[in-house]
Structure 1
Amino acid sequence: MGMTRAQKARKYGENAGSAKAGSSPARAPRVRPASVHEMRPGELAAEPTKASSAGILVGVAFFVGAALWLYYHLLVLQGVSGNLAGGVTAPELMAGGFSQGHLADFARGLGADGRTEYEGVHATTGLFTPLLMCLGWLLFTGLNTPQRARKWVYWAVILVYAVVFLVGNTVLDAAVADPADASAVALASGLVIARWVLFALLVLIAVIVAVSVTRRKLDDFSEGKLPGQRPRA
């Protein structure tokens, strides 16, 4: 015969037998995390790790575009001048423009086969260079320029550079195919000059943005606002 509840209480204590067999301790209610839409202004803050990751990707795109530009102008076009055109400078490398006589010498140095390879350069490296470079510049200025009006001015210059670069390649192909066309040669020369002027503006924009970023970082550091810094009292 089993013991009664009173006997169990005397033998094992007051709380003995009060818990039901097989019962498990009550679990704490699970707290649902607050949704973004339920947060009040000021409670939602950007995560520093995500911002730093975006900055790294933008920096990589920027330097890849710059490296591709250097490769195109210092290696590819120099190779066109030396190997394909017999030492006649490629018109894209002449920042001050070129004459009809120079383009005629360049076309004569290329010959039929060289002209085909020259057009192939424009369809490959000459196509990807402005696109990737301008993409890196767009991302770099967009991430680091908080003023909307200034950002749009920077983007306009970058996009115009890409358009002038690509249109200039097409016009150059037509001018090299027919160097006797004075108007085509003059247009090609003007686009090359515009390309270099716009490139100088792109460099200036990159310097301005880099200086402003450095200045903001120094100001945040002095005020203790950088991630991981202890706020100053």
Structure 2
Amino acid sequence: MARKRRAKDYASAEPAPKTKQTRAKRPHLTMAQAKSDIQHAGHQEGSPGILVFAILAVTVFIGFYYHIVALQGMEQLTGGMAMLDHRMSGFEVADVERLAERMDDDAMGQYNGVHITAGRLFPALMALGLIAVALWTLKTTWARWGAIIVAVGYAGLEIWATIAREQALRDVTQAKVALASSLTIAQWLLLILIIIWIVVMLVLKFVARNSTGLATSLDAEREIGGTYR
């Protein structure tokens, strides 16, 4: 009887067999999944590109109003003669004299009003647009500062040119006409270069975005990291 009890006691004292604990198998993360997660997170956080394109859209609208609606509308007051602002190749003293003869005080007041409103707002927005695109697309500090300097310089040049054209119309002299003509040519050349620069920066931005991860997209099922144990 004692032997049976001892055998029973020893059997109950034996440690229970250890069950093999297995760690839940973790899903593997592929490059395609990682890229999709990053893009989704970027859309959730918002993109500065929305603000950049909003500034450019407002700039285009104000530019259309300034050059097409306001300045071309003033041709009704001058008998169809184009304003000095739109003479991209410059003008001579005779051109300014003929235009000044057709502009009375009311026309000059309206001309000045256009310059003070849209004529100030458009170059300021154009400069802001260049700065916004540069900060969004350019990576180096010196390139960004270069864009800021060009933008501020253009805005100052545009405003200076509008003042010079008004002075040339009020007092037609060779010196004032030459200054206004030179500033007008420089203003348009710089504006064209800025537009081209903005377009190039935007194109390069989207090309770089679409080409990012091209090599990994060819192997979309490649796993990131090692094997979990």
TM-score by length of 1: 0.72
- The answer on 1:197 being equivalent to 2:202 is no
User: What pairs up with 1:5-84 in 2 under 5 angstroms?
Assistant: 48-49=42-43, 52-80=46-74, 82-84=75-77
1:51 Cα offset (Å): 6.0
User: What pairs up with 1:82-101 in 2 under 5 angstroms?
Assistant: 82-101=75-94
1:146–1:101 distance in 2 versus 1, CA, 3 Å: same
* Secondary structure of residue in 1 paired with 2:139: coil
1:109 Cα offset (Å): 1.2
1:71 Cα offset (Å): 2.2
- The answer on 1:142 being equivalent to 2:142 is no
- The answer on 1:159 being equivalent to 2:159 is no
- Supply the distance in 2 between the matched residues of 1:217 and 1:224 (Cα, whole angstroms): 14
1:133 Cα offset (Å): 2.1
2:78 and 2:99 in contact (8 A); partners too: yes
- Supply the distance in 2 between the matched residues of 1:232 and 1:137 (Cα, whole angstroms): 40
Q: Which residue identity lines up with residue 201 of structure 1 in the other structure?
A: L
1:224 Cα offset (Å): 5.6
* Secondary structure of residue in 1 paired with 2:103: helix
2:52 and 2:132 in contact (8 A); partners too: yes
Structure 1, unmatched stretches of 5+, are 1-46
Which digits, 9 at most, give the CA deviation of each residue in 1:133-189, with x for residues without a partner? 22122111211111222222222222211111001111111111111x110111000
1:212 aligned residue: 204
If asked which structure has higher relative contact order (CA below 8 Å, sep 6+), I would say: 2
Query: RMSD between aligned alpha carbons?
Result: 2.0
Q: Which residue identity lines up with residue 139 of structure 1 in the other structure?
A: A
1:232–1:56 distance in 2 versus 1, CA, 3 Å: farther
1:50–1:111 distance in 2 versus 1, CA, 3 Å: farther
Structure 2, unmatched stretches of 5+, are 1-40, 224-229
1:58–1:98 distance in 2 versus 1, CA, 3 Å: same
* Secondary structure of residue in 2 paired with 1:86: coil
TM-score by length of 2: 0.73
| Deviating 4+ runs (over 4 angstroms) | 230-233
* Secondary structure of residue in 1 paired with 2:101: helix
How many positions carry a matched residue from both structures?
A: 181
1:190–1:51 distance in 2 versus 1, CA, 3 Å: farther
1:83 Cα offset (Å): 1.5
1:223 and 1:231 in contact (8 A); partners too: no
2:126 and 2:151 in contact (8 A); partners too: no
1:142 and 1:151 in contact (8 A); partners too: yes
- The answer on 1:130 being equivalent to 2:123 is yes
* Secondary structure of residue in 2 paired with 1:87: coil
1:100–1:51 distance in 2 versus 1, CA, 3 Å: farther
1:23 aligned residue: none
Judge which range, 146-155 or 196-205, deviates more.
146-155
Taking every aligned residue pair, what percent have the same amino acid on both sides? 28
